[in-house]
Amino acid sequence: MAKLVKAPALHWQILIALVLAVLFGVYLPGQVNYISWMGTIFLRALQMIIIPLVISSIISGVTNIGNAENLGRLGLKTIIYYISTSTLAILTGLALVNIVKPGVGADLNLTQEAELGLVEHTFKDTLIRIIPDNIFSSMTQNGELLSVIFYALIFGFFITQVPAKPRETLTGFFNAVFDVMMKVTMFIIRFTPFGIFGLVADRIAQQDDLGALVQSMGSYMLVVIAGLAIHALVTLPLIARFIGKINPLKHFHAVKTALLTAFSTSSSNATLPLTIQSVEENDGVSNKISSFTLPLGATINMDGTALYECVAVMFIAQAYGFDLTFGQQVIVVITSILASIGAAGVPMAGLVMITIILSAVGLPLEGVGLILAVDRILDMFRTSVNVWSDTCGAVVIARSEGEVLNV
Ligand code: ASP
């Protein structure tokens, strides 16, 4: 039977869920136990997909590098560009979140469970633990995802180093797993309105000072958006201008359809065909460079996500009244880079990865409930910045290889 009424788009459903959750939390705080399970199930479902999603996303991204010839100079340049722009983005976010301190004053009480979950790792310890001593136990333990990311990067890299037959088998296999995981993720994401309803109502019911929470959430969003704006409108154009020697404004016009698509789909992967087309046809970058840098960029170069991860974790720390030491902030920076590499280019992937950073610095995982409510909106902005950085990277690298461009 044909559907008579079409469900509204996901972002409208989320908005409706948010409004209902606030009403429920304010007027029926005693009844919140009847619905909070929806949030718990939703968070569990997100955690359920992390390991297979991250592994298949990284391996399929890295194996797209293709042949050994690409891995030389071009590969090195690309990786240097990706890591440096992501680091700049994170530092911008870190500076803003330390200046504005959006979480201070939100005054959240830790529940007992969360408090029990707190673990302290030293800086040295966190770095050493990136190298797994047993990859299978890392995969089964919470908070060991950095070593899984590390292992997937190495595994993906060495797939490209074996003869054609095993290489093609493994590449095909991991691409196929990744396709399936994307479908599973999209399926779970359809339940976001229910997850938000449960989590937000629960959070609001526990909150004494609602005004303070709303104010903090507002300034948190502003900090993320301001950080993204500085990175997209100042840092990346300067790199494009002075290192790539191109006109950033012209380049922006060349790729604006891709950016709008990124904004509306919140998915670097879904935008990829358009990104490649704009960069090749409008910027004039060769297929050799775009087909190498852009698919890899869509998977591992996520400046917007990196900035967002850092700000979100710092915000959660501030809201719970934790003062992160310099060393812990350095861990946040490093794990944000790894988390942005590990995040798949699909909607809300960044949110899934936050749990990793939280556990790396020993913050309560329930903090995710706090930022979930506004994640979908911020996802649109950070995805556009992710794609914008990929395209800037493609032109910068094309120029460094001596290509003549239209911009
Ligand atoms: N949605 C983002 C992307 O596809 C990833 C994220 O959630 O941060 O680029």
Model confidence pLDDT, tens digit, residues 205-227:
877 777 777 888 899 999 999 99
Return the H-helix or E-strand segment holding 165: helix 164-189
- Closest to 123 (Cα-Cα) out of 363, 331, 339, 357: 331
Return the number of other C-beta atoms located less than 10 Å from residue 170's C-beta. Answer: 18
Distance of CA 86 from the midpoint of ligand 1 (Å)? 14
In testing the pocket of ligand 1, which one of 302, 340, 388 has its CB within 8 Å of the most ligand atoms? 302
Q: How far apart are the first and last CA of the chain?
A: 52
Does the beta carbon of 86 lie inside 6 Å of ligand 1?
no
pLDDT tier, 113 (very low <50, low <70, confident <90, very high otherwise) = very low
Q: Of residues 228 and 286, which shows the higher confidence score? A: 228
Q: Helices in 190-247 by DSSP H: which ranges?
A: 192-206, 210-230, 236-242
pLDDT tier, 118 (very low <50, low <70, confident <90, very high otherwise) = very low
Per-residue pLDDT at 115: 42
DSSP state of 235: I
- In whole numbers, what is the pLDDT of the chain averaged over residues? 84
Q: Is the pLDDT of residue 108 over 70?
A: no
Per-residue pLDDT at 116: 35
Helix, strand or coil, per DSSP, at residue 185: helix
Q: Ligand 1, residue 345: give the atom nearest the CA.
A: 4
- Work out the angle between the directed axes of helices 145-159 and 326-342 (0-180°, nearest 10): 40
Residue 262 is which amino acid? Answer: A
- Compute the average pLDDT of residues 257-284: 87
Q: Of residues 228 and 53, which shows the higher confidence score? A: 228
Per-residue pLDDT at 220: 93
Q: Is the pLDDT of residue 176 over 90?
A: yes
Residues 6+ apart with CB under 8 A from 342: 54, 57, 58, 145, 149, 152, 353, 356
Per-residue pLDDT at 170: 94
Distance of CA 122 from the midpoint of ligand 1 (Å)? 29
Residue ranges of domains in the chain, CATH in brackets = 10-400 (1.10.3860.10)
Distance of CA 263 from the midpoint of ligand 1 (Å)? 10
Residue 247, judged by CB atoms within 10 A of its CB (0-12, 13-18, 19+), counts as middle
Does the beta carbon of 271 lie inside 6 Å of ligand 1?
no
pLDDT above 70 coverage of the chain, percent:
91
- Work out the angle between the directed axes of helices 303-319 and 349-361 (0-180°, nearest 10): 50
